[in-house]
A and B are shown apart, each in its own frame.
Chain A
Amino acid sequence: MNVERRARPGIPVPVVVLGSLGAVFFVVPFVGLIARAPVRSIPDLFADDGVRAALVLSLVTSVITTGFAILLGVPIAWLLARSALPGRRLVRAVCTVSMVLPPVVAGVALFLALGRRGVIGGPLDDAFGVSLPFTTAAVVIAQLFVAMPFLVLTVDAALRALDPAAEEAARTLGGSEWYVFLRVTVPSIRPALVSGIVLTWARALGEFGATITFAGSLPGATRTMPLATYLALENDTDQAILLSLVLVAVSFAVLFGLRERWVGAAFGARP
């Protein structure tokens, strides 16, 4: 009997080889970035007002975007997963298509709808003198448009996979639909919700195309970290590399720290 083979069951060699290759593919760009990182110190970078403003703007807008995404995206997901909405599949496609569009196209669409001459933006400007493009609000709108689908999709999938048993029990205990939604449904999909929130935030933080198209690149108002990085690439490569590294560090810290910790945590085994 072949003892060796029995001792190491179930390792499909091609999968391991291809998987390892794929993982290396993800590592290489970061190695490049770190290898080329200038020796210039990070404090110098943050002494630059423009960089600080961009970083603050990015963090603030991405967090606000994530807040709106939760507020609007979870109800969208609920409607998609639970309601008898006619044409649900079409609605699902519409609510998530911005995720796969080239971000520039998303930006153009937003500009044509909400710009000063836009279908909605025009009347808005005429009636209230409100103009969205080239404002921080436009940054949030651009981020929300391309990032919220990540939340909608993960929460939608989780709601559809959720066994309604606990929710039914809650209803028999006198819980109104709203109470059951808040106290049972949402906690039951917590892992997917956190996952969706993190993905949405990460997408918002990295948003470039829709932002530059719809919101422009005004320092302090709409120039987020990705925009600052792209501009720096033209005249100060070192700064571009450092800005990139900061983005990588922030993103990695959140994806690795938050997601693993909260999504991996089993119910009941909390601190």
Chain B
Amino acid sequence: MSGAVELDDFRVELDLEVERGETIALLGPNGAGKSTVLRAIAGLVALAHGRIELDGAPWDSGDVFLPPAERRVGAVFQSYRLFDHLDARENVAFGLRARGMRRRAARASAEAALDRLGIASVADRYPADLSGGQAQRVAVARALVTEPDVVLLDEPMAALDVSARSAVRHELAGWLDGVAACRVLVSHDPVDAHALADRVVVLEGGAVTQRGRLVDLAAAPRTDYVADLVGTNLLRGTLAGGALHVAGGGVVHVGAHDAPDGPVIATIRPAAIALHREHPEGSPRNVWLAEVAGVDRADGRVRVRLTGAVDLVVEVTTEGFASLATDVGDPIWASVKASEIGVVADA
């Protein structure tokens, strides 16, 4: 697809090409227009200009607009949108029945699909009686059972407990692998993209800000959002010799690099930064006194946000953090080796 969707005073501009058997993740902050793109592909909203086509056949272009029912799309919506008045089996069979399959055959296919996803036992239950994980599986089964050409996944993990997500993510990757469709995943969680997608397109404020593989994004994030998303510190400034003069005022000494002097983006991995209660001894070229602005704990790691001459996110182990005996508002020393800092020219 390529084109724009306009809704009232909101506009999304996007170019997207997805191969069969490939998953593209649309990442972006809330309100970036990710779901709107899915709605356009599904035919729930028309393009303002541009075109959507599948294998060369137009779905939406100047003079063609295929209604949703004529696009072979399987969508898993954010809150699943199961039909409350139908049991799980009839929910899954809906798309088959709608396309004219006979009741008995549709039910049999639906049961087989539920069985493949390991929830054959809930076929008779209504959505109100399904757990979050079961409802998600029913939604996935409903979307895939019609063998669509395009699979759309809108925040498929958002409605699940955090504890259930990683297992479901893994399973979902397996189910999707068996589908020879173009797959588009919308998420604001890079972990989803990592587990499910081949390539990533970042949408911010209705426009693409970066695209590529997740590792490419992590190596050279182009915006603060992407840097935050992939967990990397992003510093914009002007390079002069071996010194980067950060836009915010600080100076960062960088190691070997290819970038010419001038505007650059420097990246520092959070784990490459060390924290100290006292001014550190030894060789690191970059040492700053900062203030602890925030502390997030997750999975045995602690992410510490610092403010000061240079705003940074630092990642340390839980033990390391405990030994610092520090808290929000405390002063702290941060150091990083010049060789740990990546520098690329700012396009």
Contact = CB atoms under 8 A, between A and B. Distances in A.
A268 interface: yes
A190 interface: yes
A171 B68 contact: yes
B44 interface: yes
A174 B129 contact: no
B210 interface: no
A268 B129 CA distance: 7
Given A174-B95, A174-B99, A267-B85, A169 B126 contact: no
Contact of A267 (B42, B94, B126): B126
B201 to A, nearest CB: 21
B7 to A, nearest CB: 15
B313 interface: no
B98 A173 contact: yes
A187 B85 contact: yes
Given A173-B94, A176-B69, A168 B99 contact: no
Contact of A168 (B81, B94, B127, B128): B81
Chain B CB within 10 Å, residue with most, of A183, A266, A268: A268
B84 interface: yes
A165 interface: yes
Nearest to B45: A168
Interface in B135-158: 142, 146, 152
B85 A172 contact: no
A267 B128 contact: yes
B45 to A, nearest CB: 10
B128 A172 contact: no
Contacts of B83: 166, 169-170, 184, 187
Contacts of A183: 94, 98
A268 B73 CA distance: 27
B59 interface: no
A197 to B, nearest CB: 17
A171 B128 contact: no
Given A165-B77, A166-B81, A190-B85, A172 B129 contact: no
Contacts of A184: 83
Contacts of B86: 187
A188 interface: yes
Contacts of A187: 83, 85-86
A181 to B, nearest CB: 12
B84 A166 contact: yes
A172 B73 contact: yes
A173 B83 CA distance: 12
Contacts of A161: none
A266 B84 CA distance: 10
Interface string B72-116: 111101010111111000000011001100000000000000000
A220 interface: no
Contact of A169 (B67, B75, B85): B75
Contacts of B77: 165, 169
B162 to A, nearest CB: 24
A252 interface: no
A122 interface: no
A30 interface: no
A266 B128 CA distance: 9
Chain A CB within 10 Å, residue with most, of B43, B81, B127: B81
B188 to A, nearest CB: 20
A46 interface: no
Nearest to B44: A168
A171 B72 CA distance: 11
A266 B70 CA distance: 33
A269 interface: yes
A173 B44 contact: no
Interface string A187-227: 11010000000000000000000000000000000000000
Contacts of B152: 172
A175 interface: yes
A179 B44 CA distance: 17
A74 B44 CA distance: 24
B68 A268 contact: no
A179 B98 contact: yes
Contacts of A175: 69, 94-95, 98
A201 to B, nearest CB: 23
B180 to A, nearest CB: 18
Given A183-B94, A267-B85, A171 B127 contact: no
Interface of A: 165-166, 168-177, 179-180, 183-184, 187-188, 190, 266-270
22 contacts: A165-B77, A166-B81, A166-B83, A168-B42, A168-B44, A168-B81, A169-B82, A170-B83, A171-B43, A171-B44, A171-B67, A172-B44, A172-B71, A174-B98, A184-B83, A187-B85, A188-B85, A267-B128, A268-B84, A268-B128, A268-B129, A269-B128
Given A169-B75, A173-B142, A173-B146, 19 more contacts: A165-B77, A165-B79, A166-B81, A166-B82, A169-B77, A170-B98, A171-B43, A172-B42, A172-B71, A173-B98, A174-B70, A174-B98, A175-B69, A180-B98, A187-B86, A267-B85, A268-B84, A268-B85, A268-B127
Interface of B: 42-44, 67-75, 77, 79, 81-86, 94-95, 98-99, 126-129, 142, 146, 152
